[in-house]
Amino acid sequence: MTKVANKRWLRRLSILVVAAAICSAYWFVRWGYLRLQVAMGEEQTQMFEECRTMALQSSQADQIAGLIHATIIYYPSGTKQTKGSHLDRMVERGRQSAIRDMIAHLRSISGTDLGSDPQVWINRFGEREREREPVQPGGAANGSQPIRSETNRSSSTAGPRR
């Protein structure tokens, strides 16, 4: 091979290596972002399950209504995942499933059928809950850090004291 051919071959190889490095970095960042989104989706659906479990163990209509409300307002669609993405739709299905189960339980303990709109149930049975933000498992009602202290956990949605 001549010197010119060697330089061309080295230049092409260098371009290929740089392109491979750029592609690798791009996919590494995409993979990391996806892992983060999946972790946030897992956290959301875990919170829905905690609310569902607490509601199904309760016989207090106002507490169940508060848990329904907490499930509705906890990081709504598009706040942790891209709105309309596959993961967002999966999280929203988990939210709706938990809400349906809580409404069914509230329907059975109250002997009342107010339909499937959760807001109607919250308005009917969550009288005391509308005056204050419910405390949720794992955080405050708006998805931010908790603002209530342990000594101030008198809310019926705060769950059992330990």
Give residue 54's region: left, alpha or beta (phi > 0; psi -120 to 50): alpha
Whole-model pTM above 0.75? no
The pLDDT value given to residue 60:
93
- The pLDDT-based confidence of 1 (bands split at 50, 70, 90) is low
Instruction: Encode pLDDT of 110-162 as tens digits.
Output: 999 999 999 999 999 986 544 544 444 544 444 443 333 333 333 444 444 33
Considering only CA atoms, which of 127, 116, 115 is closest in space to residue 61?
A: 127
Give the Cα separation of 156 and 4 in Å (integer): 81
* 3-state secondary structure string across 14-47: HHHHHHHHHHHHHHHHHHHHHHHHHHHHHHHHHH
Q: How confident is the model at residue 6 (pLDDT cuts 50, 70, 90)?
A: confident
What is the residue extent of each domain of the chain?
43-158
